[in-house]
Structure 1
């Protein structure tokens, strides 16, 4: 079966199955956090100023910034979906390397930085506080379930990174002015929202394919062969 088709089918199945996990909806804000943190990080790297980040219960968010030239604003608008997709891939890479505790530490670090410096609003601050506290508890006391908890976060983040990118891609076709970052990029460039929305969707799928390839890759079963030397005999 084609790898792209496998990726799409697995994502659809995973999205359906994870809906049955209690409270899984709350963890879907992780992708939103990473998305908005990506905007903020690139803003800071380009010498801009992050005013605040808002996270909402419907899994949406917004980053307010200033002091950016038009050219730099393009990079900031690109950063959200690109960062979220690459981060989902990173989580599976760390899992593959047996570094899931590192992944939990990175997620917790981003949450704490966001909480201390950027996120305002009751829901966002409450969510970040609870998420960070739960991660710390699991890293310290929950070694037996840490891997399963990490995989849940990884799959939810992967799903949301693709679903949100596909959604903005669809909106760029049907309602371009409401296509979020794609609409912002259309205003800043000569390219339409349709181009940017499609680009986000394709990039998210490409990252998802890479992430799932890492997850399903089989360990090498090849063992080094042993050679037997022959002793010479005197005749």
Structure 2
């Protein structure tokens, strides 16, 4: 199969497949952690920009995540809490942009770079460490297989899952912010910093993600 001539068709097929893939027990949750990894990395990058100390990151098997930071002021906490969801949306767009340029290996190397940084400095819970090791090993195996079709399928699938998860995670945040505003994660932290209701922050995250999802899909439609 000629990848260049069939890239749009392959993308559409794998996008649909990814929707079903994330629903498969165990496998679906395992793959969806890639979204959590980048979400927490977004928080970590912002924390570093404000010279805050990152104590640890946890990647949990229910696809949620946790970052513990020391030395963050109320001002810096606002930006740190703000960074997670937009960072994933931007990265999913970047990955799909690289896909269109057929730079599949660049995507894999970026993922491996983020994974290595996290396991070296931040991720400290057992599940998170095991996940990074397994996912990194799978990525390395795909790279060294040197099969263009397999590399393309793997990177397109991961990119599609990240794109889909940007919507799902934001939708779930809205439900939590509506039913239990005090337990809405980043939206709750932002509420405590600004006194703007959690639900409004959740909606803002959703609109931001939808905009980048639109830009992402526009690359292939």
**Counterpart in 2 of 1:201?**
206
Are 1:56 and 1:123, in contact at CA under 8 Å, matched by a contact in 2?
A: yes
**Counterpart in 2 of 1:49?**
53
CA displacement 1:11-64 (0-9 Å, x = unmatched) = x95664334779343111000000001111110111111000001111011000
Alignment map for 1:108-187 (pairs within 5 Å): 108-144=112-148, 145-187=150-192
In our comparison, the structure showing a higher alpha carbon Rg is: 1
3-state SS, counterpart of residue 219 of structure 2: helix
CA pair 169-141 structure 1, distance change in 2 beyond 3 A? same
Cα separation, 1, equivalents of 2:172 and 2:22: 18
**Counterpart in 2 of 1:18?**
21
CA pair 16-140 structure 1, distance change in 2 beyond 3 A? closer
**Counterpart in 2 of 1:107?**
111
Are 2:167 and 2:210, in contact at CA under 8 Å, matched by a contact in 1?
A: yes
**Counterpart in 2 of 1:214?**
219
Are 1:169 and 1:200, in contact at CA under 8 Å, matched by a contact in 2?
A: no
Higher helix share: 2
**Counterpart in 1 of 2:38?**
34
Cα separation, 2, equivalents of 1:98 and 1:160: 22
Cα separation, 2, equivalents of 1:78 and 1:130: 29
Are 2:47 and 2:54, in contact at CA under 8 Å, matched by a contact in 1?
A: yes
Unaligned 5+ runs, structure 2: 1-12
**Aligned residue pairs: how many?**
206
Q: Which has the higher contact order (CA 8 A, sep 6+)?
A: 2
CA pair 79-20 structure 1, distance change in 2 beyond 3 A? closer
Are 1:50 and 1:64, in contact at CA under 8 Å, matched by a contact in 2?
A: yes
Answer with 134-143 or 124-133: which moved more.
134-143
3-state SS, counterpart of residue 51 of structure 2: coil
